[in-house]
Chains A and B, each alone.
Chain A
Amino acid sequence: MRENDGHRFGRLPATDADREVADRPSREAVVAFWRDRYGIPEDTWADYTFWERGSGKIWAFRGEVPSPARIQGLGMAVLRTDGEHWKPTTNAAQRFGGLATDCVIHLDEAEAKAFLAGHDRTIERWDGDWGYLVATHDIGGAPEPIGVGLYLHDELRSQIPKGTRRDL
């Protein structure tokens, strides 16, 4: 097994059986993660290739390029797979979280503003799975994902990156 080269994009193998780089997740596992946890349909990813750059940082690119690619960015970083539980990025939650049917927590406006500012909040109404949830609020006449929160022990912990946090 080869090691992951953190400076270049390595394409994810189709399945675990095709794996050539140690610990690299497969495309099949990534697609299954979005489907099983969030209910995002598999065909959402039909036109996408998945790549790893950095340890466990997974990127989704709508198209094909030769592999491995030594470039600066390829589509969007969508997932971290290096922790105990896989974690969607804020940008992925915003772009694809609207397709989610499960593990979505809807916030009122005060909760949404606190979430965006990076504050943790006690929210006792959630009776679904713990872990990383897509947080939404209403804007412009419909719900829209803001980002990802970690729900544990009746508390929603904002995972909005520091540079994105705002006090509106």
Chain B
Amino acid sequence: MDDPLSRYEGLVDDYGAFRDACERPLPQVVRVNTLKASVPRTVRALDEAGIGYERVGWNDTLLELDTDKPGNTWPYVHGWLYGQEEVSTLPGLACDPEPGDRVFDPCAAPGSKTTHLAALMDDEGLLVANDSNLGRLSALRSNTERCGLTNVAVTKSDARNFSLKPFGGERFDRAVVDVPCSCEGTIRKNPDALDEWTLDHVEGVAGIQKGILNRAVEVTKPGGTVVYSTCTFAPEENEAVLDHALANHDVEVVEYDLPLETRPGVTEWEGDEFDPSVARAKRVYPHHNDTGGFFCAKLEVAG
């Protein structure tokens, strides 16, 4: 398909503004790793190094840096900064883990959500960061260690078959299921993101997403929280995957707050109707907050 985003003309308000926003590059944003340094100390270090920054209004740990090489700064070398676009902090915020929790991150590499979760946990509790690809695992390990995390166990497996055995069989309090996806929402960061787009790929990856969410629900305790997120707009990969989980497990999609302008999940798409509760999921469009595109839902496991 020449223009995959045209599928969403009927979903998005102010479609022209949406298309215009997708054409604009994204600013370089970093998250302060509060495990290693406070925000005031980090901005003081940036001042000392002569690196300009602007605060991201809705999240005081995010800074928009006036450099295209944030890795070449002292604060980065010390593990005080992690390059992470704004919307990619949403799953961690929706998950809202507490120090001491057992948390599962099944699609963890290269580690932006893992390092965010560990910071929210204050490095206390167990954070299992899994990925299936050895190359990406190497980046994940390097990032967790640079950020100074010591509560993370890194595993290599297909998340659909994740085993609790190395962790004594005990289930998790929370999971952040940030699945591989067709990445339509990353077009501002990577203008080639949609070059290989096909509906077959969307449908194929949706099958994998269902399998990963399924396993994450199974390994989460009754009463626990599972956050499901993608960086894409396709309802096949978003609401349809939630609908599948609702049909097969005793879970519910729950309301939660995010400090960004969002739209509810869609309950109908190309002739399919989804469980009405998928409307509690949040869609983030590039033109509303000048960010990348994103989808994020919070589920509670019954019990």
Instruction: Assess A163 versus B153: contact at CB under 8 Å? Given A70-B166, A94-B79.
Output: no
Interface residues of B in 160-218 (CB under 8 A from A): 166-168
- A140 near B153: Cβ-Cβ < 8 Å: no
Q: Which of A73, A94, A140 makes the CB contact (< 8 A) with B45?
A: A140
Chain A, Cβ-Cβ closest to B128: A71
Write 28 A-B pairs (CB below 8 A) sorted by A numbering: A48-B150, A61-B151, A63-B125, A63-B126, A65-B126, A66-B167, A69-B153, A71-B153, A72-B137, A72-B141, A72-B154, A72-B155, A72-B156, A73-B154, A74-B153, A75-B149, A76-B145, A76-B150, A91-B79, A94-B36, A95-B36, A140-B44, A140-B48, A141-B44, A144-B78, A164-B77, A164-B146, A167-B72
Q: Does A142 make an interface contact (CB < 8 A)?
A: yes
Q: Does B105 make an interface contact (CB < 8 A)?
A: no
- A65 near B150: Cβ-Cβ < 8 Å: no
Q: Does B74 make an interface contact (CB < 8 A)?
A: yes
Set of chain B residues within 8 Å of A66, measured between Cβ atoms: 166-168
Q: Does A116 make an interface contact (CB < 8 A)?
A: yes
- B153 near A73: Cβ-Cβ < 8 Å: yes
Q: Does A156 make an interface contact (CB < 8 A)?
A: no
CB of A75, distance to nearest CB on chain B (Å): 4
Instruction: Assess A62 versus B124: contact at CB under 8 Å? Given A76-B145, A139-B45, A166-B72.
Output: yes
User: Can you name 17 extra interface pairs (CB under 8 A) apart from A62-B150, A72-B154, A139-B45?
Assistant: A47-B124, A48-B150, A61-B150, A65-B126, A72-B155, A73-B153, A75-B149, A94-B36, A139-B78, A140-B41, A140-B42, A142-B41, A146-B78, A164-B77, A164-B146, A166-B77, A168-B74
Instruction: Assess A73 versus B144: contact at CB under 8 Å? Given A63-B126, A139-B74.
Output: yes
Q: Once bound together, how far apart are the Cα atoms of A56 and B126, in whole Å? A: 25
Instruction: Assess A76 versus B45: contact at CB under 8 Å? Given A71-B166, A146-B78, A163-B142.
Output: no
Q: Once bound together, how far apart are the Cα atoms of A167 and B77, in whole Å? A: 11
Chain A, Cβ-Cβ closest to B38: A140
Q: Once bound together, how far apart are the Cα atoms of A108 and B154, in whole Å? A: 37
- A91 near B146: Cβ-Cβ < 8 Å: yes
Q: Once bound together, how far apart are the Cα atoms of A168 and B75, in whole Å? A: 11
Q: Does B152 make an interface contact (CB < 8 A)?
A: yes
Q: Does B237 make an interface contact (CB < 8 A)?
A: no
Bitwise, A127-168 to B at CB < 8 A (1) or not (0) is: 000000000000111101010000000000000000110111
Interface positions of A (Cβ within 8 A of B): 47-48, 60-63, 65-66, 69-77, 91, 94-95, 116, 139-142, 144, 146, 163-164, 166-168
Q: Which of B71, B73, B123, B141 makes the CB contact (< 8 A) with A73?
A: B141
Bitwise, B286-301 to A at CB < 8 A (1) or not (0) is: 0000000000000000
Q: Does B148 make an interface contact (CB < 8 A)?
A: yes
Q: Does B37 make an interface contact (CB < 8 A)?
A: yes
Interface positions of B (Cβ within 8 A of A): 36-37, 41-42, 44-45, 48, 71-75, 77-79, 123-126, 129, 137, 140-142, 144-146, 148-156, 166-168
CB of A67, distance to nearest CB on chain B (Å): 10
Chain A, Cβ-Cβ closest to B125: A63
Set of chain B residues within 8 Å of A91, measured between Cβ atoms: 79, 145-146, 148
Instruction: Assess A76 versus B148: contact at CB under 8 Å? Given A139-B78, A168-B72.
Output: yes
Q: Once bound together, how far apart are the Cα atoms of A70 and B153, in whole Å? A: 11
Q: Once bound together, how far apart are the Cα atoms of A94 and B155, in whole Å? A: 24
CB of B23, distance to nearest CB on chain A (Å): 33
Q: Once bound together, how far apart are the Cα atoms of A69 and B144, in whole Å? A: 19
- A63 near B151: Cβ-Cβ < 8 Å: yes
Q: Once bound together, how far apart are the Cα atoms of A70 and B209, in whole Å? A: 26
Set of chain A residues within 8 Å of B77, measured between Cβ atoms: 116, 146, 164, 166, 168
CB of B100, distance to nearest CB on chain A (Å): 10
5 closest A-B pairs by CB: A73-B154, A140-B45, A140-B41, A95-B148, A72-B154
- B48 near A60: Cβ-Cβ < 8 Å: no
Q: Once bound together, how far apart are the Cα atoms of A72 and B125, in whole Å? A: 18
Q: Which of A71, A75, A116 makes the CB contact (< 8 A) with B151?
A: A75
Set of chain B residues within 8 Å of A168, measured between Cβ atoms: 72-74, 77
Chain A, Cβ-Cβ closest to B167: A65
Q: Once bound together, how far apart are the Cα atoms of A163 and B141, in whole Å? A: 13
Chain B, Cβ-Cβ closest to A66: B168
